[in-house]
Amino acid sequence: MAQIKSVSQQKLQSIQGGMALFYTPQSSHETMLVQIPPHTIDDLFVHHFQTDQLLVVKGNFVLVVLQNRQYQYLHLTENNPQVITIPPGIPHGAINLSNDSCLLVNAVLRHGETHVKDYQPIKRPFAYNLDLVKKLTNQQLVINN
């Protein structure tokens, strides 16, 4: 039986070096710096041969993941250093309702050539629940819809 792919969260471990904290490095084939502008409600997209490993370094946003015909909303913030891993084939998007940009690092793992449709938006099967997103950014919890 094939294993079902899902999004995972991993809190980063750190070690103190003088005044600085050094966090667990992420292995990757390439690293992208991504900026999510304020007041963004992004469409969904999916990667066919790529695993995203996301870490917020400034600000916050809500990652929306579509699995099993429902959205999962994950609030990611610089105040809680964790890596969110999104395997290939999982539709996801970003929502940043704040007045500030969010800056994140994506440590990308490649599993093949980039697919022509990897960065093209896909139609949302139903609307995002923005009331839940607003509550989530205030409460910093994970909410399923």
CATH assignment at residue 81: 2.60.120.10
- The token pair at 33 is 């710096």
Let me know if residue 11 belongs to a domain.
Answer: no
- pTM confidence score: 0.86
Contact, 105 vs 25, CB < 8 A?
no
Question: What are 110-131's pLDDT values in tens digits?
Answer: 998 887 877 788 989 999 999 9
Let me know if residue 68 belongs to a domain.
Answer: yes
Domains of the chain: total = 1
Question: What are 74-99's pLDDT values in tens digits?
Answer: 999 999 999 999 999 999 999 999 99
Query: What is the spatial distance between Cα 65 and Cα 58, in angstroms, rounded to a whole number?
Result: 21
- The token pair at 64 is 């929306």
